[in-house]
Structures are given as C-alpha cells and as structure tokens.
C-alpha cells in the first residue's frame, strides 16, 4: 500500500507546532505495518537544507509558474517529495508569515500548489511510485482532495483536521488563481460564506475526514466548536472519525533523552529530582525540592487559556509553588508574564520564544504541566508531561479529555489517576485544579503513585498507525 502524506511542515526538518510532530512520526510508525509511505512538502529553505536530495522527479508548469519536484530522504529514512519553487517558498519570516507576522499575500497560491502537486503525483508523474491514498493534513493541504476529485479520483483521499480554528480562508477573487473548475466555487465545494476555504475543501472532497482525537471529532460537529463548519461535518458524520495522536518514543523518552540533565524512568524516577534542580538553577528559581513546580510550554493565545494562568498565578505562588513558562505569541501576554517574573524572580521564570531542547528540560524538571485550553484538538504537551512525570492539569476538552484521568478519590483508589481535570473555562475552575494539585502534592505516597501511573501510559504511535492503516484499507487502498 502506497501512502502519500501532504503537509506544510515536518519534524525535524521544520516545526512551528504539533503538526510537524505528527507528520514526522506517523510515516515512520506506518512502515513496520507494511505501508510504503512518502511525504510531500513545500520547498522551504529549512526543508531543502535538511533533506538528502537524490534528484529531480519532474519539472512542471503550474498556475504558479515553473517548479521542480525533487526527491530525497530524511535522516530517519523517510522518502520525501519536495516542491522546489524559490519564488514561492524561499522567504524570510516563518512558513506562513513575514517578519512582521503578516500572512503572505499569496498564501492561497503557495499552498494551493501543495495540493496541486499531490494530484499530479496521484496521476503518476513519478513513473516509479504512485500513491493509492493521499493523506492531506490541515488547511495548507486542504485543496489536495479537491484537485484529486477534479481529475477523476486517481487516488483515495483522507483529510485530517489538526485545528479547525485555522481554516485557510481567502478572498473570492483568489479562487481564479488556484486553477480549479469554476463549478467548484459553490456551497457544494470550496465556497464558504462567499470566500475560498481550504479547510472546507478538504472536508467536502475527501473520502474520509479525521481529527486528532475522538472527543474533538464529536465537539466540532456542534455549533460551539464547529467554527461555522459544523453543519458540513454533521453531514459527513459517517466519514468523520477521531484518531488520537501519539508520542514519538525515540524523541520523547526520559530514559534516553540526551537533552535533559539526567535520565530516569517510571520504574526508577528518583533522578527526576536532579532535573528539577537543574531547571530551577538555569531559570534563577530558588532551589527547593519541596516546592511543586508548575510549567507551561505553549503558544501564548487566548485559545490556550494562558490569560487564566496569568489571572491565577498567585494560587501557585501564595502556596509556596513555583512557575516556569516557555512560549511566545500574543504581545500583551508576553509582556504580562515578563512583568510577573520580574516581580517575583525566585518563584516565577519566563522564557519568551521556542526552544526544543528547553521544552524537554521543562518536562523533565517540572512537577505539573498546565494545559487549560478553551479547545484542544489533541494536545501533545500533556502527552509529553505524562511521559516525563509532569502531571497534567488540564481542562476537560478535546484530546485532553481523552488522555488525562482526574485524581478523584475513586480514580486514586482504582490506581488510574494521571493528573487533574477541570471543566469550566474560567479562573475559578483553574484555581480549583491548582488546589487539587497542591492537595495531591501534600500526600507524597499518592503523588508518586499517580506519577508512576502517568509515566506508564502507552501513547506510542503504533496504536494510531494501526487505526490509520485500517482506515486506508477500508477505502479499498
């Protein structure tokens, strides 16, 4: 079975968020199951530099000008097609925005090309390899199922929604530039409230639609989290399902993580204390093993509930706890966290930006990882926390609800608790969760038992890979 994954980024070549972790790990997890998997990526400079390019597959004339399809491999041996089009991809800023954080004005063309090339590969422009399934990820690849439908469905298609809130919506005048049949711009197509929607295209035209957790699949079919597409998602109910993301054990594993102060495991967790001391030292916090260390590793957005954390930081510090944050995003939030750290440097530490190595060190050194999201399609942060014994404090939503078991009395008695879960999206609800964490911390025996249970949970990619393989087979691939 030949599977082509289509996405905008892929770890370790290029990462701006969790999408890259998925596209980096899932193809590798599918290989032992007998799938022949390749990935199609835009030719961003970091991707071009990180691949071992073996040669050119084909040169194509597209609506976006001349481009070349090159083939190479990642260091992990994953085959990658890359679109060599410097006029589209060789730019400053990040893949989606310029240095001033403004989306590129031609993003509709830059990412339409990604879907267009996927259709060419489905038609067989590579004489040596042709996919039976094209699996497109998030809005950037949302036009792939549309282009494939437009040429008669030479491959079956799967579209995965990683975050429905980011939809790739463009002006109606931009439709003419993407070279789809005119009748595709309709309510039964890519039109969304008079605009061009890449996300809607993927949902409408794909043979199957998945999300990154079962609970999120249910949530987005309702008005509150459907982002205006809930009606279409309900119509596609039989084709919609949720497959929980996994954790790449080769990268996220405290037993062999070279990025942390010392290794430890669920069976031998005592060295985690050394990681905590190293984190406190590096961030200028008071070295105190008795103070529970709460952490956030996140984009700083309202969706992630970080304004609630700001509002309730005193619930942590007034009880003798500590707090460390790694993240960037909303400028006002960045400034507010900096102010809080400056006012209380022995208990609060903040690092603005993203640092992959430091994110590992936070997971290893913290006692609690906070993910109080308004909505959360899957969430990888809490999965990393579970793996590293940083007990998740999360809101009962999306993938957070699917992966964290609350430390209620009955769950503690049954030995299944792995963290603390609260319901309402408010400062009061978060404060109750914080207090429950302190109550558990005050019972060291129970804390250690919950930590061991959390670290023993299996969220490796093999389970997700098997579910995707079953889905591909159900399509007749």
Q: Which residues are annotated as a binding site?
A: 15
Which residue in 198, 186, 126, 208 sits closest to 474, CA to CA? 208
User: Could you count the other beta carbons within 10 Å of the beta carbon of residue 380?
Assistant: 23
Place of tokens 């911390």: 441
Nearest to 310 by CA among 372, 375, 381: 372
Cβ within 8 Å of residue 288, ≥6 positions away? 280, 322
Task: Classify residue 407 by burial, with Cβ atoms within 10 Å: 0-12, 13-18, 19+.
Answer: buried
H or E element, residue 250: none
Enumerate the H helices of 6-136 as residue ranges: 18-30, 45-50, 86-89, 107-123
Rounded Cα gap, residues 451 and 444, in angstroms: 10
Under a CB-based contact definition with an 8 Å cutoff, are residues 383 and 406 in contact?
no
Pick from 212, 206, 365: nearest CA to 280: 365
Distance CA 320, CA 127 (A): 65
Total residue length of the chain:
477
Residue 202: closest CA among 160, 262, 244: 160
Q: In the structure encoding, which two tokens stand for residue 75, read together? A: 């260091």
Q: Which two tokens stand for residue 403?
A: 């992966």
Residue 230 burial (10 A CB sphere; 0-12, 13-18, 19+): middle
Q: Summarize the annotated binding site for ADP-alpha-D-glucose as residue ranges.
A: 15
Token reading at 138? 């998030």
Residue 137 in tokens: 């990820």
Q: Which two tokens stand for residue 204?
A: 């409408």
Strands 79-84 and 65-73 turn out to be antiparallel
């Amino acid at each position: 079975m030949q599977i082509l994954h289509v996405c905008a980024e892929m770890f370790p070549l290029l990462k701006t968020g969790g999408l890259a972790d998925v596209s980096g790990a899932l193809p590798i997890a599918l290989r032992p199951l007998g799938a022949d998997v390749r990935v199609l990526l835009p030719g961003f400079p970091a991707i071009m530099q990180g691949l071992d390019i073996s040669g050119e597959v084909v040169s194509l004339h597209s609506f976006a000008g001349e481009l070349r399809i090159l083939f190479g491999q990642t260091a992990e041996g994953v085959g990658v097609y890359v679109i060599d089009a410097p006029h589209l991809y060789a730019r400053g800023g990040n893949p989606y925005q310029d240095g001033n954080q403004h989306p590129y004005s031609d993003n509709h063309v830059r990412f339409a090309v990604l879907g267009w090339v996927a259709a060419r590969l489905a038609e067989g422009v590579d004489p040596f390899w042709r996919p039976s399934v094209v699996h497109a990820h998030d809005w950037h690849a949302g036009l792939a199922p549309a282009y494939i439908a437009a040429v008669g469905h030479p491959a079956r298609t799967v579209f995965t929604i990683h975050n429905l809130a980011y939809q790739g919506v463009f002006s109606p005048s931009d439709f003419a530039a993407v070279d789809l049949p005119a009748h595709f711009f309709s309510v039964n197509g890519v039109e969304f409230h008079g605009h061009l929607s890449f996300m809607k295209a993927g949902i409408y035209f794909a043979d199957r639609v998945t999300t990154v957790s079962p609970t999120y699949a249910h949530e987005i079919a309702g008005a509150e989290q459907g982002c205006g597409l809930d009606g279409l998602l309900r119509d596609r109910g039989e084709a919609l399902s949720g497959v929980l993301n996994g954790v790449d054990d080769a990268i996220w594993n405290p037993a062999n993580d070279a990025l942390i102060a010392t290794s430890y495991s669920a069976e031998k967790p005592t060295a985690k204390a050394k990681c905590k001391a190293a984190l406190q030292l590096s961030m200028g916090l008071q070295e105190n093993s008795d103070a529970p260390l709460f952490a956030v590793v996140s984009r700083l957005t309202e969706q992630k509930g970080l304004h609630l954390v700001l509002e309730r930081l005193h619930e942590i510090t007034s009880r003798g706890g500590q707090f460390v944050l790694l993240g960037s995003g909303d400028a006002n939030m960045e400034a507010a966290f900096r102010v809080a750290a400056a006012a209380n440097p022995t208990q609060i530490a903040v690092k603005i930006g993203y640092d992959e190595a430091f994110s590992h060190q936070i997971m290893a050194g913290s006692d609690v990882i906070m993910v109080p999201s308004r909505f959360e399609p899957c969430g990888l942060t809490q999965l990393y926390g579970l793996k590293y014994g940083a007990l998740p404090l999360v809101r009962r939503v999306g993938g957070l609800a699917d992966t964290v078991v609350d430390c209620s009395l009955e769950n503690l008695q049954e030995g299944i608790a792995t963290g603390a879960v609260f319901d309402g999206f408010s400062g009061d609800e978060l404060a109750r969760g914080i207090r429950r964490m302190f109550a558990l911390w005050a019972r060291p025996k129970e804390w250690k038992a919950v930590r061991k249970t959390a670290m023993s949970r299996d969220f490796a990619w093999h389970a997700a890979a098997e579910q995707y393989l079953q889905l591909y087979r159900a399509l007749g691939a």
